[in-house]
Amino acid sequence: MKNTPTPSIRIATSSVIASCFLAISSFGLAWFPALATAAEGDPDVLRRENLVAWCIVPFDAKQRDPAARAEMLVSLGIDRCAYDWRAQHVPTFEQEILEYRKHGIEFFAFWSVHEAAFELFEKYDLHPQIWQTLPDNAGTSQAEKVESAVREMLPLAERTRSMGCKLGLYNHGGWGGQPTNLVAVCERLRELGMAHVGIVYNFHHGHSQIDEWAANWKLMKSYVLCLNLNGMNRQEQPKILGIGKGEYELEMIRTVVDSGYDGPIGILDHRNELDAYESLLENRDGLRWIRNELHQPGTGGPKPTTTSE
């Protein structure tokens, strides 16, 4: 037979629970970050499960091999990777795929074009996004430049469509890095039947576009396949800055969250002098600060200034 609490115990227990709720009301959710990030209205697109690691292969100061890289991602709780590479990494393409599979990591995207990689994608039934810089092209008028870019990108668009992969037009400065041009080329390719073509936008290539961010984001949002974040100042130095350490990324990310965007969010290394683990950790934790600040100002604690533990 179960022991039934006496009325006095039940009353005491109720009083303790009531006191706890009173404490939460009095001190606010800033003291309870786990509750703050779970509450209604939380910027869920910034959750850790939605993050993609980017620029962690050639830029890693420790030059990890595929096995060590996969273990690093697991230790950070990041289970998607956009794979960038250099010529020396080609022989380990297959090992990278196998290590990701072993550790439950999604091979989310692949930088540019390489036949060896494309053959492996077919072998392992992989369909990553393919990220390709939109080139600057010849022409005197805007229409001529758009058509030139479309002609140059069309073969890859057709190839990726046949592979079942999305093609992301990647901003990297110049004419091809301007949001209006990215959208114009994307729309034209879609008119030609390339519905899988979209945009990959990088904050770290958009320092000069900070003032126009709200308008540019509104223009691009429906085409964006992945948004890669960075700390943002008006000057381009340092070009790569941890999330939360700049002056403008909080409000820029607020614009993204308020728009209802629910696509992937990239965080990057891209610094030869740093261990990729430290860079990803800095950005992962900086983004957590942003997330809390967007939910309720003041709940994130001190603004990030150094890499956290």
Helix (H) or strand (E) holding 81: strand 80-83
User: For the chain, what are the domain ranges?
Assistant: 44-295
- φ, ψ (nearest 5 deg) of residue 201: -105, 135
Residue 222: pLDDT over 60: yes
The architecture of the domain spanning 44-295 is Alpha-Beta Barrel (3.20)
Q: How, if at all, do strands 224-228 and 51-54 pair? A: unpaired
Closest by CA to 186, choosing from 163, 205, 169, is: 169
Compute the average pLDDT of residues 170-184.
Answer: 96
Residue 41: pLDDT over 70: no
pLDDT for the residue 94 = 98
Q: Mean pLDDT score of the chain, rounded to an integer?
A: 87
Residues 69-127: tens digit of each pLDDT: 999 999 999 999 999 999 999 999 999 999 999 999 999 999 999 999 999 999 999 99
- Contacting residues for 17 by C-beta, under 8 A, at least 6 apart: none
Q: How confident is the model at residue 40 (pLDDT cuts 50, 70, 90)?
A: very low
pLDDT for the residue 236 = 75
Residue 51 pairs in a beta bridge with 265
Residue 144: pLDDT over 90: yes
- Contacting residues for 39 by C-beta, under 8 A, at least 6 apart: 29, 295
Q: How confident is the model at residue 42 (pLDDT cuts 50, 70, 90)?
A: low
